[in-house]
Structure 1
Amino acid sequence: MKPGSDTELEKELRPKLLDEFSQHVLTGAMRVVRDEKNPIRLNLFAAAVRELYSHTLHLLAPDERVTKCSWYRLEPGTKGPTRAQRAKFATQGGLSDEFIAEVGVDVEHLHRAAIDAINELNKFTHVRPGVIEPDKGKVESFVSEALSALIGLFESFAECSEEVLHTLQDAIDRAAVEAFVLETIPEVDELATHHSVEEAYVEDMAITAVTETTVHFKLSGSLSVELQWGSNSDWRRGDGAKMRQSFPFEMTMQSSVDALTNFDEVVFQVDTSRWYQ
């Protein structure tokens, strides 16, 4: 590990961090551990990264949210959520264990790696005789394992979201179509006398948040419509006109963790700007 150089793990981790404070902590941790002349560089790194883990878990899983989940139980000898429970909440929110098992999400090994890494960090956070590591190879290995485990924790969140989306894909597609069919589309409505929805194609979907009660979704895609100028009788007389056109759209919706296919708070926006261009 050359002083001042970025490691591949650091580059991979940085975009995943949640706030500026986390960026500063990682910068400080990496800067101190690269100082090979500092005999306690591993101890200082361990103290910083342990706080980065803790800060991340508390941001993603505050006590008041974790404790409202149906799966939460107060563990013996504790006064609130454990690290493992925070990691679980950050991954699945209030989704039930039964649903998570049904969709095939298994990220406990990633959680265990993160918790084990925190325990290892704890061993080196206090500078005492016997906890100073002079071996360069062992320092580099320790740093790699600590960063890899934190990356794995973030990956567990993404893996769970991906599996949930895969399970709900058909229901999400139907909800998008229904929203356009049942609701007036102001942006399209002003283009012609009449319009009808031919197809709504969801090209991308993402889970933006999973809370103790709700799953939030964001979609984007293309909306195919038929535009008609003039009335139906005008069209039959040859005085009207029809045209098919596609426009990009974005949509947000949400559902309860207890009724995932019952979507509400559906809000969409269709971009018709290229029509005017």
Structure 2
Amino acid sequence: MAMHYRVPEWPEIRAKGESLVAEHPDDHFMTTVLEGAFLVGESENPIRGNLCAAAMRELTGHVLHSMAPDSRVTACRWYELVKDTKGPTRMQRVTYIVQGALPNDFVEKVLKLDLSKIARPLLKTIERLNRSTHVREETILDDDEEIRVLVDDALDGLLDIYDAARTCREEVHRSLRTEVFDTVLDKLLSETLQELDELSTHTSVEGHEIDEYTITFVDDEFIELAVAGTVYVELQYGSRSDIRNDMGAVLSDSYPYTASMKARVIEPQRILGDSVVVAVDNSAFYE
């Protein structure tokens, strides 16, 4: 059974405005325009709806252009100039805000995000804002409920874009976990790390686990990954012959490690081998 839509009151709409401002606490223009939209929307001005729509249109345009400037959008490999346009479309700006320079195939097939579905409500609301900004005898907007719905839809559309951007980054984090694990393991097995080698006659890596890792989109070219985990090792003292003759020993131990690595944004699941650095903290061994 579909839920009945209830038109939100102004205090509820203002709360959403505060959530939007929280995304950009230093953006004075956003705060000013949003407050202006609220003041005129709640006033008794006979054309308050049209003035409020004009303010909200400028606000959405400001967000799209500041978060997705022309130079960044047009530099993405997925960008194509749409016929009869001179630069990025609103849809392309929304795409950049959500996925940055990540390739479309990766976003759609691996992350399972539908950008057209995410962007549709905001883009439709912008069209409504455009129509409402023109003050004509037949377009005067003075119905309080209609005004509240229009402002609420605009704020919801913008907040949904920010939520989608966070979801995208969370999904990138999830999707790369296996690659990160395998990359660290390969480094531990293929290279002799001094911090482990010095602990015994022969140190062998038994495995590792990731405790946490973070992803930073450095720019539109590289992703940086920082990893913290635990490596499990076998420490052999003496030769194999010594072990057979009970003159040596084999112990198991574990140590924390950190690792860093990079991937290209256009191929996020292919970690650059020469960027991988692993450091093991063996200080506990000497305590």
- Name the TM-score, length of structure 1 as normaliser: 0.72
Is 2:241 the counterpart of 1:232? no
Percent identity of paired positions between Structure 1 and Structure 2: 27
Letter in 2 for 1:56: V
Secondary structure at 1:202 match in 2:
strand
In structure 2, do the counterparts of structure 1 residues 132 and 274 end up closer, same or farther at CA, with 3 Å as the change threshold? farther
State whether residues 256 and 262 of structure 1, in contact with CA within 8 Å, keep that contact through their aligned partners in structure 2: no
Tell me what 1:200 maps to. Answer: 208
Match for residue 26 of structure 2 among 6, 20, 28: 20
Is 2:91 the counterpart of 1:111? no
The whole-number CA distance in structure 2 between the counterparts of 1:6 and 1:272 is 55
Is 2:73 the counterpart of 1:66? yes
RMSD of equivalent CA atoms = 4.2
Tell which structure's C-alpha radius of gyration is larger.
Answer: 2
Secondary structure at 1:208 match in 2:
strand
The whole-number CA distance in structure 1 between the counterparts of 2:166 and 2:181 is 21
In structure 2, do the counterparts of structure 1 residues 204 and 44 end up closer, same or farther at CA, with 3 Å as the change threshold? farther
Q: Which runs of 5+ in 2 are unaligned?
A: 1-7
Per-residue CA deviations over 1:181-229 (Å, capped at 9, x if unaligned) read 556778xx39x74576554323444543285544x1434442235597x
State whether residues 213 and 225 of structure 2, in contact with CA within 8 Å, keep that contact through their aligned partners in structure 1: yes
Tell me what 1:255 maps to. Answer: 264
State whether residues 256 and 280 of structure 2, in contact with CA within 8 Å, keep that contact through their aligned partners in structure 1: yes
Letter in 1 for 2:266: V
State which drifts further: 52-61 or 80-89: 52-61
Per-residue CA deviations over 1:17-65 (Å, capped at 9, x if unaligned) read 24511x6524651465156335255445444443333333233333223
Per-residue CA deviations over 1:61-101 (Å, capped at 9, x if unaligned) read 33223223333221121111111111122223333333333
Letter in 2 for 1:261: R
Compute the displacement of 1:147 (Å).
Answer: 0.8
Letter in 1 for 2:26: E
Compute the displacement of 1:131 (Å).
Answer: 5.0
The whole-number CA distance in structure 1 between the counterparts of 2:80 and 2:37 is 39
Report the count of equivalent residues: 270
Tell me what 1:99 maps to. Answer: 106
The whole-number CA distance in structure 1 between the counterparts of 2:213 and 2:88 is 31
Secondary structure at 1:77 match in 2:
coil
Tell me what 1:148 maps to. Answer: 156
State which drifts further: 218-227 or 61-70: 218-227
Compute the displacement of 1:4 (Å).
Answer: 7.2
State whether residues 92 and 210 of structure 1, in contact with CA within 8 Å, keep that contact through their aligned partners in structure 2: no
The whole-number CA distance in structure 2 between the counterparts of 1:197 and 1:124 is 67
State whether residues 57 and 130 of structure 2, in contact with CA within 8 Å, keep that contact through their aligned partners in structure 1: yes
In structure 2, do the counterparts of structure 1 residues 109 and 3 end up closer, same or farther at CA, with 3 Å as the change threshold? closer
